[in-house]
Chains A and B, each alone.
Chain A
Amino acid sequence: MTVQSQMGNLAAEARARRSLARAWNALQMPVIATVAGLFVTSVLLVCIEVNPLDVYAALLRGALGSLFGISSTLRWATPLILAGLAVSIGFKAGLFNAGLSGQIYAGGFVGSLIGFGVTLPWGLHPVAAILGGGLAGATWAFIPAIMRRYLGASEIVTSLMLWYVAIGIADFLVRQFFRDPTSAAFLMSVKVAPSAVLPSIFPVGNVSVMIFVSIGAAILLAHFMARSVAGYEIRMTGANPAFAHYSGVPIGRRMVLAFCLSGFLAGMIGASESIGINQRFVSQFDPGFGFDGFLVALLANGSIAGCIPAGLFLGILKAGGSEIERTLGLSKSIIWILQGSIILFVSANRLRGYLAWFIGRLRGR
């Protein structure tokens, strides 16, 4: 072996080590937070005299143990990956889209509106509904984005407030104009046209072709952020806005772009739920994808492609939750607690330091 190739090998090894270290670094907080979440949940389960291991086993069985379980996992992963992407792209630009749920709602309304209000051929109809929903979400995200750009108003608070406004407007319009006359207590619209329905691609369950759209969106977006001019500028705006501005990047426009992109993804979730799962607009149809999106994005820890495994992980929790409910008589609340405690701890960077100190002390003895 020549000296040169030896050196080349060494350099390659060093590179591999570095990327490994970086991956571990990125995974540290999500792993720590998940362990903390499992710990909190386990303590609570022990308190009510349930063996936590039984619960986690049931969870995995329910999510992955059968074709129905897998289809259920994928059904949940579909919106969760998109929600994670929506939050992540905001994070990349240094923005916090706390009003994801509002954009989902807007997308759900407009998506179903296109579903029942427009006549289009098969094939094209769902595409139009999904894109329309996406545009509605983007529009709803545009308001806080320009308020941030021109008025400096916190996008966190405004987008959050607009969530409730979206609920009010959509519910009002549905009640007034599109209500299904046969629905009694629940507020829901008329059914979407059969041409607009996204069919299930599995023999059981509710998985639509949208799962591929979600995964495709993640790959496309990861590529866009890493390799495109606009993606690069969005990343630099998030990394250091002063630097980006000084370098001539139009940071205001990039922020608005990223936020609208985030809203577009959120709107797609709403539309896909409307025409895929419910086949109509149902008031309060969103079971909290906004929250879940944060968890996905935080677990992915800044990686766009990382939203795919993180979304699948959360999909497993959701799908497994039903199994826990069914077989162990526990409610899904245990899953909420798990999620909540993970979110609670996942940004607590100092936790890492305390843990290192604690482990060091243990070793010291």
Chain B
Amino acid sequence: MDILTVSLIASTLVAATPLIWAAMGGLVSHQAGLFNFTLEGLMLFGAFFSVLFGTLTGNVWIGILLSGCVCVLLSLIWGWIVIDLEADQIISALGFILLAQGGTVFMLNAMGQGGGIFSLVQLNPIKIPLVHDIPLIGPVLSNQTALTYLSWLLLPLFLFALYRTPFGLSLRATGERPEAAEAAGINVRRMRYISVAITGFCCAMAGSQLALGLLAMFTDNMTAGRGIIAFAAVIFGLHRPLQVFLVALFFGFAGALTDRLQGFGLPSELLLTLPYVLTVLALCVAGMQSAFKRRVGA
């Protein structure tokens, strides 16, 4: 394994972390039967508030947690609009994203800043003693931020929560057949609010990693479509934890590869389209399968 491969893995892990957080958060809403396209907006809010609160409190973790709380609240507002006001989920999500883009810039300006603000705190890489000493990949697996490590824990956590707890059972029932869930005594409305709150929190973590893990600053529209990629990962991964996790990881790899190949003068633009092309292809294949099933009448 050469040094290039190693650094590619390293940058994959860095690029994938926000995607994993946002996509895993998004899948919870989808599991509860909500078509949640707000991820991009939530990430942007999360990034902004983590910088704001981190700088205000002088503690990176308090900043991230407060950002998480604010994003949960904002996400619940969207939840109220779609669950109780019965607004169209996609239209209102588009509005939410626009509101996030306008809102963060507005707050930047209100603080007298132009295109961005620097954070006084940041997430430092953590060296894991034993792992760090493994040759070549040791320094890669180690030396990540805490949010990266936590994002890896999301997979077992979500698998467990969805498939091994009564809560997960209720959530899956809610998403697939709300009226049947209701008949079994599950409070569908409550399950949906909970799912939206979880999505909000996870997206805040995604935004925090973006703002505090890499650059220690917030800039105008810094998510730059990562929330859309995360959404693509949710769709492509059929909102199942393992698939979504792997797809997000893969999209992170595609991003890292793009940066690398750009260095060699290869067309990065085309590589950047990879996640989107793959999602379209996945929908094609899924469609063909069901069309085939319809035809054979199985």
Contacts and interface: CB of A to CB of B under 8 A. Distances in A.
Interface string A159-179: 011111101110110011000
Interface string A239-279: 00000000000000000000000000000000000000000
B99 A153 contact: no
Nearest to A349: B86
Interface residues of B, number: 47
B280 A162 contact: yes
Interface in A135-153: 147, 150-153
B269 A169 contact: yes
Contacts of A175: 267, 269
Contacts of B169: none
Interface stretch (A115-123, A193-201, A214-222, A340-348): A340-348
B95 A164 contact: no
A48 B269 contact: no
Given A161-B276, A169-B273, A340-B97, A153 B283 contact: yes
A163 B225 CA distance: 11
Nearest to B277: A165
A156 B291 contact: no
B269 A340 contact: no
B284 A151 contact: yes
Contacts of B235: 157
A347 B92 contact: yes
Contacts of B270: 168-169, 172
B139 interface: no
Contact of B283 (A157, A169, A342): A157
Interface in A84-117: 96, 98
Interface in A277-311: 288, 291, 294, 298
**Interface SS majority for chain A:** helix
A331 B105 contact: yes
A98 B90 contact: yes
B185 to A, nearest CB: 25
Q: For A152, A154, A338, which residue has the most chain B Cβ atoms within 10 angstroms?
A: A152
B232 interface: yes
Nearest to B232: A161
Contact of B106 (A98, A152, A331, A346): A331
Interface in A314-365: 330-331, 333-351, 354
Q: For A156, A161, A168, which residue has the most chain B Cβ atoms within 10 angstroms?
A: A161
Contacts of B81: 344-345, 348
A269 B110 CA distance: 34
A158 B281 CA distance: 9
A241 to B, nearest CB: 17
B144 to A, nearest CB: 27
A153 B90 contact: no
Contact of B269 (A98, A168, A341): A168
Contact of B95 (A44, A157, A343): A343
A339 B91 CA distance: 12
Interface in B85-133: 85-88, 90-92, 94-106, 109-110
Contact of A344 (B92, B267, B275): B92
Contacts of B287: 147, 150-153
Contacts of A176: 267
Nearest to A294: B94
Contacts of A291: 94, 98
A63 B294 CA distance: 56
B84 interface: yes
Given A164-B228, A172-B267, A331-B109, A344 B87 contact: yes
Q: For B78, B86, B106, B290, which residue has the most chain A Cβ atoms within 10 angstroms?
A: B106
B11 interface: no
A47 B110 CA distance: 9
Given A48-B110, A291-B98, A340-B97, 6 more contacts: A158-B280, A168-B271, A168-B276, A291-B94, A344-B96, A345-B92
Of all A-B residue pairs in the complex, the 3 with the closest CB atoms, nearest first, are A151-B287, A336-B102, A343-B95
